[in-house]
Chain A
Amino acid sequence: MAEYNAPLNDIRFLLNDVFKCQEKWQSWPALKEQVDSDIAEAILEEGNKIAGGLLAPLNQSGDNQGVAWQDGKVETPKGFKDAYQTIAEGGWLGITGNPEFGGMGMPKMLSIHFEEMLYGANNSLALYLVLTVGACLAIDSHADNNLKQQFLPKMYSGEWAGSMCLTEAHAGSDLGIIRTKAEPNTDGTYSITGTKIFITGGEHDLTENIIHLVLAKLPDAPGGSRGISMFIVPKIWVNDDGSLGEFNQVNCGSVEHKMGIKASATCVLNFDGSRGFLVGEANKGLMYMFTMMNYERLSIGIQGIGCAEASYQIAANYAKDRLQGRSSEGVKYADKYADPLLVHPDVRRMLLNMKALTEGARIFSTYVALQLDTAKYSQDKAEQKKAKDFVALMTPVAKAFFTDMGLDACVLGQQVLGGHGYISEWGQEQLVRDVRIAQIYEGTNGIQALDLVGRKVVANGGQYVDEFMAEIRNFIEQQQTDVTHEFLQPLQNAIVTLEKVTAWVIDKAKNNPNEIGAASVEYLHLFGYVAFAYMWLKVVAVIAQKPDMDNAFYDAKLKTARYYFNRLLPRIYGLEQCIMAGSEDLFSLEEEQF
């Protein structure tokens, strides 16, 4: 069975050398007293122990056993409850929480790396944690102080878990058509009635209570997405004094049988006149969801990275151990009956693909997290504004590109093992099954791409893209070392290509809105590859300044960057052609002609 070791050196390198976290944190009043690089180091070390020591050993057994549903109760696999409690007691659920209510107030730039470790070690268990953190964030962002006081401390402490209840059987991507209703009660609470599906962590035995955040419609609500409100609906009612009351008629009707994340309970939840509290104002539920969604979407993107890293670790170790065939240049290990797989160029190609994309994604995730933190903590209005723009622009890219690349990486990781990749024993096939959901939930990657091209690019005439390109150009100008030289022109060309397709899409969309959807997924990928190229240049630029740049870590980075620029970045030119083929050929077929 696979071990998991968090890539701590890579994370340290990114935080300390590439993004200079200490300087940033010290410059922001809200974080100055909260975190420094020593605290960060301690969190990373402990996080690795939790992930590798506690979660990873339960990953395969959790998949084998799955969750069991009986009479509305869900039993999680053996060991999950104890592990969850240990994590809760360590305060990990409140790591990014609001300090006013017992959270630790850590920056996103740090917490994403802990999240990556969780996903890398055990996707299913990670989801219970991440969903709780998401629910906390929604409450902290939009609920009034009383509700925060009532729920957040218990959720940060891990005593209560959270869930997000959006999807209904007929309404997934299109939440405007949800039917769950909320009737006002005389005491100011609401009675919630309806059925939600695909509710991750909707029911389980890990905590004494589960706090559901439910989207529902008030009786007089306008139609469509403008008539949706958000409610807090505890599984067990919470009295004003904080004690637990009666069961609140939130019934788990069944759990889904799925491709993967089998140890995570994906529930059908029936709300049968369950009492709930309105969060914030009526009819603003969807907007509230969106404001917190940037955080959530980045987290789901991180799932792609975590899985890719775990798959890489297994594949790289296997490629070193497995002896098969001889190098085409002649025998490399004469003392062994065959050479290790690593001598074969195609095995290297697969591993380097994984490595370049996984590490590239890790740089970009840190960069996006830095934007989220800057938007939240910076005192400089201009800097804050730019960070907000970047968050808006990059979040859909992070979610969709990381998870698309995450699947690709896991499939390659499986391929390196040959037939052994297909059987359960090695863990590779589970990673493929587990990571596959990340392209779907929290907004499918098609929805992310529409968000990017429609709302973030076309709607503002490409302004955010221009800002980003300006930053990259500015950065390129400062990099005139021998080490960075070979990367500058290819990145220049890549920017020009992105600008070209951006202008093209904006122009085409004026006459035909279908051009947005026709270009969207390929545009998102093109954007992702260009952004990763910029990220790799950032890394190379740091290494260029190191006196010991030939040590193995830096040398590997440099060569991986080179691989990325030579073998992966050119993908943008194929994508460019696809985008500029336009929507015509997608709509030429009548429905019956399919």
Chain B
Amino acid sequence: MPEFKAPLRDIRFVRDEVLNYPEHYATMPGCEDATPDMVNAILEEGAKFCEQVLAPLNLTGDEEGCKWSTKGVTTPSGFKEAYKQYVEGGWPSLAHEPEYGGQGLPESLGLVLSEMVGEANWSWGMYPGLSHGAMNTLSAHGTEEQKQVYMTKLISGEWTGTMCLTEPHCGSDLGLLRCKADPNSDGSYRISGTKIFISAGEHDLADNIVHIVLARLPDAPAGTKGISLFIVPKWLPNGQGEPGERNAVQCGSIEHKMGIHGNSTCVMNFDEATGYLIGPANKGLNCMFTFMNTARLGTGLQGLAHTEVAFQGALAYAKDRLQMRSLSGPKAPDKPADPIIVHPDIRRMIMTIKSFAEGNRALAYYAAKLVDVAKLSPDAEARNEAEQLLSFITPIAKAFMTEVGFEAANLGLQVYGGHGYIREWGMEQNVRDCRIALLYEGTTGIQALDLLGRKVLMTQGEALKCFTKVVHKFCQANVDVEDLQEFIEPLAELNKEWGDITLKVGMAAMQNRDEVGAAAVDYLMYSGYACLAYFWADMARVALEKLNAGTTEESYYTAKVKTARFYFKRILPRTQTHKAAILSGADNLMEIAEDEFGVE
């Protein structure tokens, strides 16, 4: 398996050169500690940890998988030791409140670490990753006492967290959930019910596991308006805040799945387990939505992670593997055949992966910056604008990045031919692991409904406008830059078309609500390609500026411009396919009768 190298150069290009993170950190209140030296140290040390500790456990973790017994779940060899090192290194506390032991660094910096951890070993990364959901819930809605008891332990990494939402009969439709919470006289609750697909629900990495559980109070209204949030620790904290009595929550089994074998996906049985209400009663879903953006962005990063892995793997192999001669004459005449990178179709695959990896990295850190601004900016208008942009771009980041991430992972496998299909090279694992990202944290279809239905159409297109305005300004600002026109012209055209299509869908949806769902996924994909066009144009702008100013890294920056060109010419035409599907309307989906989907 090719050795993993954290893509530090590219991370720095995107953050420092394209998105001006140094200035952002220097001027944003609460980000002062993220000095260039500090950021650099975190990048370097984080990369080392990911490359040396986590990456070597990826393939073995997949082969070994998790093991369930009545005593609990055992993670693959080495996972526990790696987690211990992670905790000792202080990594869990990076982007959390200093009041509870955190380092108080910006969330956008935490996402850099998430990217690298995910690239090295996604399954492992999910254990600390799931803690974020629990921490976000506590941080936003917990009482001071709850924070003192739980945040401290979660931030230190001594305990981990989970999010318990799904039940056997309800996944996308949480309004149906049945898990119940009966009040005790001491103010606590008895939680009963079964949750499924609980990532990291049980494992042997930490001293305690804090479950955040969605359940219904006895008098709760039906549907989504009757859901409350509860903290249900595996071990009830004693007076000293240490794990005390065992709570009545058990892992009934773990799922056998396509991938992420190193992560335990658990059935969790709550049998009158003691729980504590967090946030207002019946407002559980609202509470969850407040931090859903970061969670979804985190899952979007999974798409980026698998794209990067596919890129590194495919490139190494394509340079090394000798097979046939270039059609334009031998390129390595001293060898029995040319390296396969000479073949145009191999290049097409690798360029496609490359343009997604680098384009999506820009998208991810653009969104990450918005997270900081929305949370920290003292300027209400700036906060509001960042929030609007973030709510628009989040479903795109989640679904688009994972959809094209899966395509990239498959292309990475394809470059290896038959060798891609066997375990040894890690490419097939990359595909299997990536596949889940299109499903959990809201499927692609659910993200698309959120984007088109809730975000764009519900605001009469305002949500879209706040982003197309950014693009428009960019095009205006660069209208005289001659070198850039090959990107600016198609981008400006696309930006206009985006609005036109939205208008048409909006009109159609007024007549027929099904038009929204009928257009949603194609609309989301169209939007993703359009976003990446903007980011690629912006990256080309920076690269051209560097080249014009004179640089020792000429090769690096020319590659950026050429990749931008590839993206515009060979990937961006896909928008036309999605446009045609969007405008074809709902009738071709709805006119066929249910029984005509028949299976013989």
Contacts and interface: CB of A to CB of B under 8 A. Distances in A.
Contact of A552 (B197, B566, B595): B595
Given A172-B418, A450-B345, A344 B423 contact: no
Interface size of A as a range: 35 or more
A345 B596 contact: no
A512 interface: yes
Interface stretch (B17-25, B33-41, B169-177): B169-177
Given A563-B588, A594-B354, A351 B418 contact: no
A446 B346 contact: yes
A345 B592 CA distance: 11
Contacts of A563: 588-589, 592
A449 B575 CA distance: 24
Given A173-B324, A577-B573, A589 B435 contact: no
B439 interface: yes
A550 B401 CA distance: 43
A167 B417 CA distance: 11
Interface stretch (B153-161, B208-216, B477-485, B557-565): B557-565
Interface residues of B, number: 104
Interface string B129-164: 000000000000000000000000000000000000
Interface in B349-405: 349-351, 354
Given A257-B423, A521-B345, A573 B580 contact: yes
Given A352-B589, A436-B413, A514-B328, A328 B516 contact: yes
A594 B315 CA distance: 8
Contact of B589 (A345, A415, A421, A445): A345
B173 A324 contact: yes
A570 interface: yes
Contacts of B570: 578, 581, 585
B599 to A, nearest CB: 5
A414 interface: yes
Contacts of A560: 592
The A contact surface, by secondary structure, is helix
B600 A440 contact: no
A256 B592 contact: no
A348 B587 CA distance: 11
Contacts, number: 285
B319 interface: yes
Contacts of B516: 328, 345
Contacts of A88: none
A49 to B, nearest CB: 14
Interface stretch (B282-290, B443-451, B495-503): B443-451
Which of A337, A346, A436, A589 has the most chain B CB within a 10 Å cutoff?
A: A346
B176 A345 contact: no
B513 A5 contact: no
A423 B259 CA distance: 9
A307 interface: no
Nearest to A339: B173
Interface in B579-600: 580-581, 584-586, 588-600
Nearest to A261: B421
Contact of A415 (B169, B410, B417, B439): B439
Given A567-B581, A586-B348, A432 B435 contact: yes
B322 interface: yes
Given A173-B324, A517-B327, A423 B255 contact: yes
A281 to B, nearest CB: 25
A185 interface: no
Interface string B497-515: 0000000000000001111
A242 B97 CA distance: 82
B172 A418 contact: yes
B521 A167 contact: no
Which of B166, B421, B521, B570 has the most chain A CB within a 10 Å cutoff?
A: B421
Contacts of A392: none
B256 A423 contact: yes
A176 B337 CA distance: 10
B345 A449 contact: yes
B580 A259 contact: no
A502 interface: no
A589 B351 contact: yes
B555 A590 contact: yes
Interface stretch (A130-138, A201-209, A313-321): A313-321
A575 B562 CA distance: 20
B444 A415 contact: yes
Interface stretch (A6-14, A17-25, A377-385): A6-14
Contacts of B546: none
B344 interface: yes
A594 B581 CA distance: 34
B166 A574 contact: no
A566 B584 contact: yes
Contacts of B346: 446
Nearest to A312: B599
B555 A593 contact: yes
A514 B338 CA distance: 14
Nearest to B347: A586
A422 B435 CA distance: 8
Interface of A: 5-10, 167, 170-174, 176-177, 197-198, 256-260, 266, 312-313, 316-317, 319-320, 323-325, 327-329, 337-338, 340, 342, 344-352, 355, 407, 411, 414-415, 418-425, 429, 432-433, 436-437, 439-441, 444-446, 449-450, 512-518, 520-521, 552, 555-556, 559-560, 562-563, 566-567, 570-571, 573-578, 581, 583, 585-594
Given A418-B171, A429-B257, A562-B588, 6 more contacts: A346-B445, A349-B518, A444-B417, A516-B344, A566-B584, A570-B577
The 4 A-B pairs at the shortest CB distance, nearest first, are namely A517-B344, A570-B580, A345-B517, A577-B573
26 contacts: A5-B599, A258-B422, A259-B432, A316-B597, A319-B597, A324-B170, A324-B172, A344-B517, A345-B586, A352-B588, A420-B171, A423-B258, A425-B256, A432-B435, A437-B421, A440-B421, A445-B414, A518-B348, A556-B598, A566-B584, A566-B585, A567-B581, A570-B580, A573-B577, A577-B576, A588-B566
